[in-house]
A and B are shown apart, each in its own frame.
Chain A
Amino acid sequence: MPEIKVTPLGAGQDVGRSCILVSIGGKNIMLDCGMHMGYNDDRRFPDFSYVTQNGRLTDFLDCVIISHFHLDHCGALPYMSEMVGYDGPIYMTHPTKAICPILLEDFRKITVDKKGETNFFTSQMIKDCMKKVVPLNLHQTVQVDDELEIKAYYAGHVLGAAMVQIKVGSESVVYTGDYNMTPDRHLGAAWIDKCRPDILISESTYATTIRDSKRCRERDFLKKVHESIERGGKVLIPVFALGRAQELCILLETFWERMNLKAPIYFSTGLTEKANHYYKLFITWTNQKIRKTFVQRNMFEFKHIKAFDRSYADNPGPMVVFATPGMLHAGQSLQIFKKWAGNEKNMVIMPGYCVQGTIGHKILNGQRKLEMEGRATLDVKLQVEYMSFSAHADAKGIMQLIRMAEPRNMLLVHGEAAKMEFLKGKIEQEFNCYMPANGETAMVTTNPSVPVDMSLNLLKREMALGGPLPDPKKPRTMHGTLIMKENSLKLVSSEQALKELGLNEHQLRFTCRVQLQDPHSDPDTLHRVYTHLKSVLKGYTIQHLPDGTVMVESIVIKVSSSAEDVNAKVLLLSWSYQVQQSPTYLFFRRFRPRFGIFFGNV
């Protein structure tokens, strides 16, 4: 039975470094190629030596598909393509292809900041890698090769995020990447058709959570910002360049407009213009509301949000600043944090997860005294808030997607093991559900129906033999030759097959030797065999030919004696392939014990 194999190298019972290998119908596909931000060495990348040794990735992989631009899904791509060496096709959507290099550049900057880091890609490598990318459109089937096809579906989550269906023949797998089943301020909800894949590989970040309504979270966020501003405090929101930052910008912009607030909002490092550019360019990927109102007013042209200059951080009075990077590990966000941390009127809102080794991680864990460079200590007096605005499907959303796609099996990735286990329990009430750890392989046996055309001649012949017409409910054996031609299968008569393929027919003969003890001469022995056969095989043509052979129909029998023992006779039998299926053969088999002739195993 054919199998589909799924092996996560990353994202198996964890988050970060998403990289999932799928083998389907003889094709090998890599889904995502992410990095783990928590490491400073090669452990940040998936270990590609598990894919194949000696770095022959191009020989092994048929393609790589990237679901979206977050670094835990695409961050190892230039390393893999330019440093390990992969020349095959890489697929991602148009917006992902455009935005990916910006985030990769951003991360490269952070690694340059961290001295002693080696083995990291350069700008040129990022560009060369992006040149290998084939862009995908939504709902458009792309033929990777003659057998493998892929199709992207809208996933919400971030601009350009896609779920992808991978199909080889009648077997298929859907990989969700990260997705969101509820629309937000700038993106729509994920959608897929009832494609009934053999496996649905789904993220499970919020596997055990039924998230409170988005409105509540937003209200909470705005309330906190507003309170802080009202008491004259400054609010820092560390973000990554593109993604949830834009969602929060729209949220604040609308709120400022409604409440007629005057405190300035700033966005650092020129990213507003850049983000604006991409959102305009890919307006079709945003939600309906933004698309509709785009003609009158571009939601991304903010009235209240201005570009930040580093000197503004010292300005008196309240303000809100969006600054990169998102985990407070370097650069502008960290610089502003250091300035503002000592004042309890101020606030920092962390809108996402921070890895160990960053200030974001420390303050989220409640540390209030931070060691700084030169053994100085920073007293964190400002208010620290965590408010996740990442757009992932919650448990309800995951079940909703399952009902949409109607998969045969489920496989969970991108989540914490304990939480996955809980969701797995729920899903298993209806489906098989797998949650392989990194390095483990989940194998799913498929039962693909392979359509075969049958020639009219063969059908007619079968009917002439008196059998009933083919009926799917009553399977029966039919004889013919199966021809595979141009990706289709055809069952035809052997004559037709020979004709179509331009081949000659060959005769295949089987032989066997049977030992007998008989004191007579060779011709006498042959004659005795002849007489015996005549008496038992009535109705068959049996001839004793002058060349010293006996023929029963087309079976030839000869006798010879051994050199050492004249009484030991050897009967040499030879028959054609056709005989093996004829009544004569059956007869011989039936009388085998009496003759001492063994026909079996030929």
Chain B
Amino acid sequence: MDRECVTVLPRVCEVLAASGSSLPDDTSLEKLLDWFTMFNLKQPNGFSLLEAFPCLLDFIPTVVNNSPASDASILSFTLKLTGLISATENGFKVLQEHSLCDLVFDPQRWQEAGLWKDPCIRIGWIQGLRTMLQHSKALGFFVQADLIEPLLHLHTDTSLFVASAANHMLAHILLFCQSENSQNNSKHLTVPVETKQNYSTVTVKLCEYLKKSLVLDGTSALFQSHQALKVLALLLSRAGPDLRDRLLLTVSDSLEELVTTNCSQLTRSLMDVVQAAHRCASLCMLNVRNKEMLKERLVDIKMSAVTRVFITVCVWTGVFQVLQKSYRTLMKWISACADLSSITDQLRKDLIQVVGKRVCDVRWEVRDSTVEFLGHLAGLCDTSEVLLGDRCFTVSLLKEALQDPESYVRASSISALAQTLAPSWQQGAVELVSRLHEILSQDTEGFSRRAVLQYFITWFSLCPSPTSCSLLMQSMHAVLSQGSADLDWEVKVHTLELAELLMDRPGAHPHPYAVTSNKSDLVGVLSTLVDQGVFLVLLGGLVDCDRPVGLKACQLLMRLRDSVCPLLLGDQRVSAPDEPGVSCELPGCGWAQEVRKILGIEDADPAQKSDVVDPGDDRKPEQGGVRDEGCMVRVSVCEVLRSLGLDARLSVLTQSSDHVHNSPMSLLQDILTAGSRNTQLNSEPGLEVIVDCY
């Protein structure tokens, strides 16, 4: 792919250099830079962008010399690109042989061209320099070109973005000097005197600047002090001991002075600096034991007091946010507190009253949080009973909430009901299950339907064996078929998760390494999965337009293929005619048409079709091997699994849905066509696509 990009890039550069107007999509240039950055990261040491893309060497001076006719966004891109190329010593050397860094990073030039007032040029300048400053030669350039002054000037720029970029740049320079120094020292390298001088010049200048900036004199200096404090906080949290000590020594007087001015606008930034300084100085002194003791004491606070406060808040406050926090706090305390004996009857009564009241609140937010609280509480079995008494109370409230007009509340009540499930659960089950079916088939909102599927997943996970959960097993078929036909992708994914549980049920299929020779058992298991609708659910999911559904289905089908079919079919690719097989009926409409297409059932020649048809079933005379029962087709499960091309599909589905169209090549093509469209628009106005909204 990169090779193709290399051939296209020169044309892209031409388009960019020639375009007087910006590209219609403002993200294209940033994405192009992302690609170059990634390229740089992936390359072995020293291999520069210029070696891979020589056209960039012409591109830079063309754009820069064409200013101010060039578009500001393309100029800004060029500044950043120059920085990126010169981030390697090789790249820097080549650029400087053509004096390109001097040309591009000369602020005077941009000022004279009247472009400096555009913040995107200033941002480009700072970011370009910052990317470049990765080696001592770049620092030498920075010092000799005397770029510190313009950079310090931008530190208090009117643009928030420029000022912040300058801030990070200042910190970067100091940290860079520090790391270069320490590396050289540790490797005992002989560093040229000039380089040493550069480090020292920069460090002294910046430290002095910070010291000076901290002093408040007039309102205009407030922003400068604020900025200086930000750099300090940033530096102190990342600097090594030498730089940190030096910084603290330089600025401590100014800092103290600043503290005494009592300027409230700076308090926060000052606190950040103090914290950063304190953290690095006393990190190792933190007394772990004290922390532990504190934690214990917190837990010791009486449960009853917390509950009382909670109830008071819930009863009296109408403010939702407070209520939400109270629920969360109470849940935290309950989970942390082992001794619930302090719960008095009165407290219990109060809590029941509050929950009963809030679950009928006029605001859905309050009802939902209350229902969520009940669900969380039900998850803590014993605690729930201690606090709210009999489970019936909770369940009846939650069942009421199933009728709530707000789908969020309906969904929360279903999830909460799932928390009240117990393996032995029977009472009122039929009625509840039929209500859940109703929600799954009729509710207009996805949230509640998703919750129904999760309810069945929880129920199934709790069920020790199919025989002990007859109601659940009876419901399975309907849940699977409704869930897989749902319009919401998450309902479909949950349906597949439920199907997975059925597949994983003990005895559903053998462990790949288990010694099983009993084919009739396997046939039985596979037949059950087909009868329950699991196989059709997986097939439908495979051709779904939503990628997560397709992916999940594909993974499950592969598992089925790999664990069951080899044992049924042996190692043969074509099953022997006398071998007992499992077949299923493939519908003739809807998603199944898609599957038929993959299998080549409709238009493939009869010889191919016979591969897919269950050879063991000869109840009906067939045409060309396909038993067409109306619109139904009977197919062999294992043959289908083998013919779907699952491995190829999986490799596509595991990639991002936009991997083709968000690739560098696609980006380059988009820029090219945008360029030619620009030309077209100049001759035919009115075709312009206006960036509006979505």
Contact mask for chain B residues 308-349; partner A; CB cutoff 8 A; 1 contact, 0 none: 000000000000110010000000000000000000000000
Of B30, B320, B589, B691, the residue contacting A353 (CB under 8 A) is B691
Residue picked from A72, A113, A114, A310, most chain B C-beta under 10 Å: A113
Report if A355-B27 is in contact (Cβ < 8 Å); known contacts: A40-B662, A330-B657, A439-B160: yes
Of A16, A39, A112, the residue contacting B691 (CB under 8 A) is A16
Of B487, B591, B666, B676, the residue contacting A269 (CB under 8 A) is B487
Within 8 A of A (CB), among B633-689: 648, 652, 654-662, 665-667, 669-670, 673-674, 676-677, 680, 687, 689
Residues in B neighbouring A43, C-beta threshold 8 A:
30
Contact B689 A441 (CB under 8 A): no
Query: Is B444's beta carbon under 8 Å from chain A?
Result: yes
Residues in A neighbouring B652, C-beta threshold 8 A:
373-374
Contact A14 B26 (CB under 8 A): yes
Query: Is A495's beta carbon under 8 Å from chain B?
Result: no
A366 and B584 alpha carbons, distance in the complex (Å): 46
Contact mask for chain A residues 303-327; partner B; CB cutoff 8 A; 1 contact, 0 none: 0000001110010000000000011
* Chain B residues proximal to chain A, CB less than 8 Å: 21-22, 25-28, 30-31, 118-120, 158-162, 164, 230, 268, 272, 320-321, 324, 365, 368-369, 408, 444-447, 487, 489-490, 545-548, 589-591, 593-594, 648, 652, 654-662, 665-667, 669-670, 673-674, 676-677, 680, 687, 689-694
Query: Is A118's beta carbon under 8 Å from chain B?
Result: no
Residues in A neighbouring B594, C-beta threshold 8 A:
310-311
B496 to chain A, nearest CB (A): 14
Contact B666 A357 (CB under 8 A): yes
Of A72, A127, A209, A416, the residue contacting B694 (CB under 8 A) is A72
Contact B546 A331 (CB under 8 A): yes
Residue picked from A49, A70, A311, A372, most chain B C-beta under 10 Å: A311
Of B22, B368, B689, the residue contacting A364 (CB under 8 A) is B689
Contact A416 B657 (CB under 8 A): no
Contact B21 A418 (CB under 8 A): yes
Query: Is A206's beta carbon under 8 Å from chain B?
Result: yes
Residues in B neighbouring A15, C-beta threshold 8 A:
691-693
A542 to chain B, nearest CB (A): 45
In the complex formed, the residue of A with least CB distance to B485 is A309
A40 and B34 alpha carbons, distance in the complex (Å): 12
Query: Is A165's beta carbon under 8 Å from chain B?
Result: no
Query: Is A446's beta carbon under 8 Å from chain B?
Result: no
Within 8 A of B (CB), among A438-474: 438-441
Residues in A neighbouring B593, C-beta threshold 8 A:
311, 314
15 pairs, A vs B, C-beta closer than 8 Å: A14-B26, A37-B694, A39-B30, A56-B268, A114-B657, A115-B655, A131-B324, A205-B693, A274-B445, A310-B590, A352-B692, A352-B694, A357-B666, A371-B665, A386-B687
B441 to chain A, nearest CB (A): 13
Contact mask for chain A residues 391-426; partner B; CB cutoff 8 A; 1 contact, 0 none: 010000000000000000000001010100000000
Contact B545 A334 (CB under 8 A): yes
Contact B674 A365 (CB under 8 A): yes
Contact A50 B25 (CB under 8 A): no
In the complex formed, the residue of B with least CB distance to A41 is B34
In the complex formed, the residue of B with least CB distance to A333 is B545
A354 and B677 alpha carbons, distance in the complex (Å): 15
Report if A362-B590 is in contact (Cβ < 8 Å); known contacts: A54-B272, A113-B656, A327-B694: no
A314 and B591 alpha carbons, distance in the complex (Å): 11
B363 to chain A, nearest CB (A): 9
Within 8 A of B (CB), among A92-118: 105, 109-110, 112-117
Residues in B neighbouring A354, C-beta threshold 8 A:
689
Contact B27 A36 (CB under 8 A): yes
Of A131, A327, A372, A390, the residue contacting B369 (CB under 8 A) is A131
A274 and B161 alpha carbons, distance in the complex (Å): 42
Of B158, B446, B545, the residue contacting A335 (CB under 8 A) is B545
A166 to chain B, nearest CB (A): 21
Contact A115 B654 (CB under 8 A): yes
B660 to chain A, nearest CB (A): 6
A315 to chain B, nearest CB (A): 10
Residues in A neighbouring B320, C-beta threshold 8 A:
131-132
In the complex formed, the residue of B with least CB distance to A308 is B487
Residue picked from B160, B164, B321, B591, most chain A C-beta under 10 Å: B160
A264 to chain B, nearest CB (A): 16
Contact B677 A366 (CB under 8 A): yes
Contact mask for chain A residues 122-133; partner B; CB cutoff 8 A; 1 contact, 0 none: 010001001110
A533 to chain B, nearest CB (A): 43
Of B118, B268, B648, B670, the residue contacting A362 (CB under 8 A) is B670
Residues in B neighbouring A49, C-beta threshold 8 A:
164
Report if A353-B590 is in contact (Cβ < 8 Å); known contacts: A50-B161, A366-B676, A366-B677: no
Contact mask for chain A residues 327-365; partner B; CB cutoff 8 A; 1 contact, 0 none: 101111011000000000000000011111111011011
In the complex formed, the residue of B with least CB distance to A116 is B656
* Chain A residues proximal to chain B, CB less than 8 Å: 7, 14-16, 36-40, 43, 49-50, 53-54, 56, 70-73, 87, 105, 109-110, 112-117, 123, 127, 130-132, 178, 205-206, 209, 240, 269-270, 273-274, 277, 309-311, 314, 326-327, 329-332, 334-335, 352-359, 361-362, 364-367, 371-374, 386, 388, 390, 392, 414, 416, 418, 437-441
A80 and B542 alpha carbons, distance in the complex (Å): 36
A311 and B594 alpha carbons, distance in the complex (Å): 8
Contact A112 B548 (CB under 8 A): yes
Of A311, A356, A372, A439, the residue contacting B590 (CB under 8 A) is A311
Residues in B neighbouring A309, C-beta threshold 8 A:
590
Of A54, A130, A357, the residue contacting B658 (CB under 8 A) is A357
Contact A277 B444 (CB under 8 A): yes
Of B21, B445, B547, the residue contacting A330 (CB under 8 A) is B547
Contact B324 A113 (CB under 8 A): no
Contact B444 A274 (CB under 8 A): yes
State the 8 A-B residue pairs at the shortest beta-carbon distance, nearest first. Answer: A439-B161, A38-B27, A356-B25, A113-B657, A270-B487, A439-B160, A335-B545, A131-B365
Contact A331 B689 (CB under 8 A): no
Report if A353-B160 is in contact (Cβ < 8 Å); known contacts: A330-B658, A372-B660: no
A110 and B690 alpha carbons, distance in the complex (Å): 23
Residues in B neighbouring A53, C-beta threshold 8 A:
230, 272
Contact B164 A50 (CB under 8 A): yes
Contact B670 A365 (CB under 8 A): yes
Residues in A neighbouring B654, C-beta threshold 8 A:
115
A363 to chain B, nearest CB (A): 10
Q: A205-B693, A362-B669 are in contact. List 19 more A-B contacts (CB 8 A).
A: A15-B693, A16-B26, A38-B27, A39-B27, A40-B662, A49-B164, A70-B694, A113-B657, A117-B656, A330-B547, A330-B657, A356-B31, A359-B661, A365-B677, A367-B669, A367-B670, A367-B673, A439-B161, A439-B164
B79 to chain A, nearest CB (A): 16
Contact B590 A331 (CB under 8 A): no
A50 and B157 alpha carbons, distance in the complex (Å): 14
Residues in A neighbouring B656, C-beta threshold 8 A:
113-117
Contact A357 B689 (CB under 8 A): no
Residues in B neighbouring A39, C-beta threshold 8 A:
27, 30
Residues in A neighbouring B677, C-beta threshold 8 A:
365-366
Of B230, B447, B661, B665, the residue contacting A357 (CB under 8 A) is B661
Contact B690 A353 (CB under 8 A): yes
Residues in A neighbouring B25, C-beta threshold 8 A:
38, 355-356, 361
Contact B657 A273 (CB under 8 A): no
Report if A131-B368 is in contact (Cβ < 8 Å); known contacts: A15-B692, A50-B161: yes
Contact B690 A209 (CB under 8 A): yes
A356 and B664 alpha carbons, distance in the complex (Å): 12
Contact B547 A113 (CB under 8 A): yes
In the complex formed, the residue of B with least CB distance to A330 is B657
In the complex formed, the residue of A with least CB distance to B550 is A113
Report if A356-B27 is in contact (Cβ < 8 Å); known contacts: A105-B446, A113-B547: yes
Contact B692 A205 (CB under 8 A): yes
Contact B27 A329 (CB under 8 A): no
Residues in B neighbouring A362, C-beta threshold 8 A:
661, 666, 669-670, 673
